[in-house]
A and B are shown apart, each in its own frame.
Chain A
Amino acid sequence: MTNAPSQDELVEMFRRMVIVRRLEEKLGDLHKQGRTRGPIHRCDGQEAAGIGATAVLGTDDVATSTHRGHAHYIGKGLDLRRVVAEIFGRATGYCRGRAGHMLIADRATGMLGGNAIVGGGMPIAVGQALALKAQGRGRVVATFFGDGAAQTGVCHESMNMAALWKLPLVFFCEHNQYGLTVHARFQSSIEDLHRRAAGYGMPGVAVDGNDVVAVYRAMREAVARARDGGGPTFIEAKTYRMTGFSTSDMGGYQSGEEMEAWRPKDPIARTRALLERDLGAERTAALAAEAGEMVERAFEQALSDPMPGIEDLADGEYGAGEYGADDYGSAA
């Protein structure tokens, strides 16, 4: 199979998907206990899309994420404890508690970054890709967005400009069927969003977003094209958001029928079945258990981390220009 992941890669993707699922479930539990702050957007059911796509990126490559970015953070290699610390507003978080869960960034791993304006990351990704192209280093940008963001003006402007200038950029659309509470069929004039790519003169592909191997393969092809100067690709990963829009979602708009239809397609269960065939049930279960314990430890540590002191606000409004072009992806 062309562009297929190695077994080691598949194991790693499985491990990360379990981490993300466990992270989301823990957040749900803590929210019910009143221990979270502000809305939290879970990606249960969409793990294969975020993890499969980021698995193809190097640390040197850049990703922009969304308000629903936990899989992208973990997939891009961010440290779980510092992600959780940021979600809980701790001084040890990636942004020292200034960002919260929707806006996490990490310069060292090229996560630049979460964005809570629907579609807001796409123009930024165009600029990042333009800069990387100008710097001529063969690095690529992946911009993650949903079927909601696909309806914004900037999405269309961004696709046009990226294709026009043949930028090293992958438009990765996680089509989870809902823009907040409204189904895509009430938001989009067409069902298959990847068909829009043709209108901008770039390849567009649809992929089963709950199949981590399929996502990986499509992304690998797109990234290779971008790296080789072939310009952008539009990938539409069809998936489903198993939880509400956010922890503040009162529900009532996703039918039980619809959810039951998607439940058997659970990406983690499917990957687990794949691994059990090669590694055996016991080893696969051990992998999952280990990932779950890691999440527990990360929460324990992060929740005992200190809150930022208000003196952190003292460095103020403006920057002094600490970083230059070479400082990105420095963990590579």
Chain B
Amino acid sequence: MRRLRYAEALNEALREEMRADPSVVLYGEDIGIYGGVFKVTRALQEEFGAERVVDTPISEQTMTGMGVGAAMMGLRPVIEIMYADFLPLCLDALANQASILHFVWAGQVSVPMVLRTQGGGGAGAGAQHSKSLEAMVSHIPGLKVVSPVFPADAKGLLKAAIRDPNPVVFLEHKLLYNTTGEVPEGDHTVEIGKAAVVREGSDVTLVANSRMVLEALKAADTLAGSGISCEVVDLRSLRPLDTATIVASVKKTSRAVVVNEGWRFGGFGAEVAAQISEAAFEYLDAPVARIGTHDLPIPYSEPLEAAVVPSAASIVEAVRAWG
């Protein structure tokens, strides 16, 4: 296997799916000649033409609704929304159209659409370009939501998302694009709805997604030095959620710390914590802890941003504090 950057793994997934299936089309801002502001669509317009790699106007709301219409007519659009912070613009198309039509129209249409976007803090992008809105999109029945952290999963899940007959929100993180990892060549897919235990341990389960998995792994290294053995569960998919894997781990360790970069209040971590409490109450030796971004707009200045966005250090602190 070769090592690829996260952005390259996504690019490879798009290229392979577009070669295999002419109904796969890309819509987004700056995705054509420029190759996307994070270079995920690099050189795809060159290979597949402007009819299949479409630079759209800055019209996120219509772009997303357009994806719904194209998908129900048999295309497989993959939409790039430059920042997760723009998801609120897309929300009518997601919450009132994409997610409901298969059900409400009694199965008469499928909406095989993928909406890719990237979120997260840590890059000094400020309050309107740093959010993690997992909770907002995961709340909606009919959508699937994934957020891979490793390049191999990024490729495998994107291919699975494109082939899925349902709308899938694919959440990336701006600080992951340049991370590297081994990525299988060829037709590598990862099933949506399956978490992965990425580090085994016995004392506490750290449940994380997206970039927070990397922070959880760092925290686990630190804690191992003081004899605390952490198991790290990478959720990979947020909806459907692999509750079984989370619960099995918590039953083993009896403690859980949920790490999600979104805001704590009403956040995705709260959902995971609730699932654990419901399914593994009698196995818990401590309250389920949640780590997330402080309930504030994300500030720009470096020390301020670092203070509100979770990190390995805040995970270590939480594990120690929760006994």
**What is the interface of chain A, defined by CB distance below 8 A to chain B?**
62, 64, 94-96, 98-99, 103, 105-107, 112-113, 115, 117, 120, 122-132, 134-135, 153-154, 157-158, 160-161, 164, 315, 317-328
Contact = CB atoms under 8 A, between A and B. Distances in A.
B57 A127 contact: no
Given A153-B61, A164-B57, A325-B23, A317 B75 contact: no
Contact of B107 (A120, A131, A315, A326): A315
21 contacts: A94-B106, A96-B106, A98-B105, A103-B105, A112-B72, A117-B96, A120-B97, A123-B64, A123-B66, A123-B69, A127-B68, A127-B77, A128-B73, A131-B69, A134-B75, A135-B73, A153-B61, A154-B62, A319-B165, A321-B110, A327-B74
B56 interface: yes
Nearest to A99: B104
B160 interface: no
A131 B76 CA distance: 10
Contacts of B92: 117, 120, 154
Contacts of A62: 73
Nearest to B23: A325
B245 to A, nearest CB: 20
B57 A161 contact: yes
A2 B107 CA distance: 41
A106 B71 contact: no
Contact of B110 (A129, A132, A322): A322
Nearest to B74: A325
Count chain B CB atoms within 10 A of each CB in A157, A315, A325 and give the residue with the most: A157
A324 B108 contact: no
Contact of B109 (A112, A115, A318, A326): A112
Interface string B67-105: 111111111010000000000000011001100011111
Interface of B: 23, 25, 51, 56-57, 59, 61-75, 77, 92-93, 96-97, 101-112, 141-142, 144, 164-166
Nearest to A165: B54
B112 A127 contact: no
A225 B112 CA distance: 30
B93 A123 contact: yes
B73 A131 contact: yes
Contacts of B67: 127
Contacts of B112: 321
B62 A323 contact: no
Contacts of A120: 65, 92, 96-97
A122 B63 CA distance: 11
A319 B166 contact: yes
Nearest to A315: B107
Count chain B CB atoms within 10 A of each CB in A123, A157, A326 and give the residue with the most: A123
Contacts of B25: 134
B107 A105 contact: no
A98 B93 contact: no
Contacts of B109: 105, 107, 112, 323
Nearest to A164: B57
Given A105-B109, A128-B72, A323-B108, 6 more contacts: A62-B73, A99-B104, A127-B77, A158-B62, A321-B164, A321-B165
B49 to A, nearest CB: 11
Contacts of B74: 131, 135, 323-328
Contacts of B70: 127-128, 130-131
Contact of B105 (A99, A160, A164, A317): A99
B96 A319 contact: no
A64 to B, nearest CB: 8
Contacts of A125: 69
A157 B57 contact: yes
Given A120-B65, A161-B66, A319-B165, A127 B73 contact: yes
Contacts of B165: 318-322
B66 A124 contact: yes
Contacts of B142: 317-318
Contacts of B71: 127
B60 to A, nearest CB: 9
A105 B69 CA distance: 13
A321 B160 CA distance: 13
Nearest to B58: A157
Nearest to B69: A127
Nearest to A94: B106
A105 B65 contact: no
Contacts of B105: 95, 98-99, 103, 105, 107, 113
